[in-house]
């Protein structure tokens, strides 16, 4: 095998490991990732799996990055050319509901699971999870403030409060889907979003 092909194959193998790890972690948490389990499921040696990352923490950080890329593809990148402000905010929230409704990952929202797992801890993995959540919430606040400036949301709208409530709806949606297998949950989430983001009369 040529050096170039070796590099390509190594990248593919690494991606296989990460993809399987994201699926496992969505169900069992990042601490549920073990080198032995991954080696067995992927038909690799433990040394072969570990050789791509060096440490379990490095693997966990790679999984957080991969989960963020997946979320970006499934939510913000699905809204296309929706105009900034309220139209884009509503499109983002619909894509967010759809992401959970379609069971993109077997355990539902990766970041909901990882946040609950690491919220009381410290260290690089906790910081990575918190950082990804912060970036997403910042993007939502930008759209809220744009909607206020355009007159599509009341001028006294508290952007932080609205993002808090939007996140609460999605946490509830993930809970009812994953723990209670309530198939009416997405429609309930959409009704809650409509109450929060309904266009004012005359708009």
Tokens of 149: 């400036």
Tokens encoding 48: 């072969």
Does residue 35 surpass a pLDDT of 80? Answer: yes
C-alpha pair distances (Å), 72 with each of 67, 79, 95, 155: 9, 11, 10, 30
Mean pLDDT in residue range 167-175: 96
Q: Which of 27-41, 145-159, 160-174, 189-203 has the lowest mean pLDDT?
A: 189-203
Is the predicted pLDDT of residue 138 greater than 50, yes or no? yes
4 assigned to some structural domain = no
Confidence of residue 99 (pLDDT cuts 50, 70, 90): very high
- pLDDT, tens digit (0-9, with 9 covering 90-100), for 55-77: 889 999 999 999 999 999 999 99
Write out pLDDT tens, residues 186-196: 999 999 999 99
Given a contact cutoff of 8 angstroms between Cβ atoms, the answer to whether 175 and 116 are in contact is no
pLDDT for the residue numbered 1 = 55
Position 4 scores a pLDDT of 62
* Residue 98, in any domain of the structure: yes
Q: What is the CATH number of the domain that holds 103?
A: 1.10.357.10
The answer as to whether 202 is a domain residue is no
Domain membership of residue 128 (yes or no) is: yes
pLDDT attached to residue 3? 60
pLDDT at position 201 over 60: no
| In contact, 179 and 79? CB cutoff 8 Å | no
> Do the domain assignments include residue 13?
no
Is residue 189, in this structure, part of any structural domain at all?
yes
Write the CA distances from 199 to 23, 135, 151, 156, integer angstroms. 37, 26, 10, 15
3-state SS record for 110-174: HHHHHHHHHCCCCCHHHHHHHHHHHHHHHHHHHHHHHHHHCCCCCCCCCHHHHHHHHHHHHHHHH
Which residues make Cβ contacts (< 8 Å) with residue 107, sequence separation at least 6? 23, 25, 26, 27, 28, 113, 178
Question: Which DSSP state fits 198?
Answer: P
Within a domain: residue 203?
A: no
State yes or no: pLDDT of 112 exceeds 50. Answer: yes
| Confidence check: pLDDT of 2 > 90 | no
Burial of 131-154, coded b for 16+ CB within 10 Å and e otherwise, reads ebbeebbeebeebbebbbeeebbe
Q: Report the pLDDT value the prediction gives residue 98, as an integer from 0 to 100.
A: 96
Report whether pLDDT(202) > 50. no
Can you give the pTM of this predicted structure? 0.88
Residue 203 has pLDDT above 50, yes or no: no
Question: What's the domain range around 157?
Answer: 57-197
Domain assignment of residue 10, yes or no: no
User: Among all chains, which residue has been given the structure tokens 């699905």?
Assistant: 78
Q: For the chain, what is the domain count?
A: 1
């Amino acid at each position: 095998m040529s050096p170039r092909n070796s590099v390509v194959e190594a990248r593919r193998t690494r991606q296989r490991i990460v993809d399987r790890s994201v699926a496992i972690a969505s169900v069992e948490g990042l601490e549920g990732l073990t080198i032995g389990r991954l080696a067995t499921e992927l038909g690799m040696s433990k040394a072969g799996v570990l050789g791509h990352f060096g440490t379990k923490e490095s693997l966990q950080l790679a999984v957080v990055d991969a989960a963020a890329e997946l979320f970006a593809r499934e939510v913000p990148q699905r809204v296309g050319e929706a105009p900034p402000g309220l139209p884009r905010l509503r499109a983002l929230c619909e894509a967010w509901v759809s992401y959970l409704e379609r069971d993109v990952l077997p355990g539902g929202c990766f970041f909901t699971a990882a946040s609950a797992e690491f919220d009381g801890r410290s260290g690089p993995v906790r910081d990575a999870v918190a950082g990804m959540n912060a970036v997403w919430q910042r993007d939502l606040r930008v759209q809220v403030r744009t909607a206020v400036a355009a007159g599509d949301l009341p001028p006294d709208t508290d952007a932080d409060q609205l993002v808090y409530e939007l996140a609460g709806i999605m946490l509830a949606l993930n809970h009812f889907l994953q723990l209670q297998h309530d198939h009416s949950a997405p429609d309930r989430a959409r009704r809650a979003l409509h109450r929060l983001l309904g266009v004012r009369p005359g708009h």
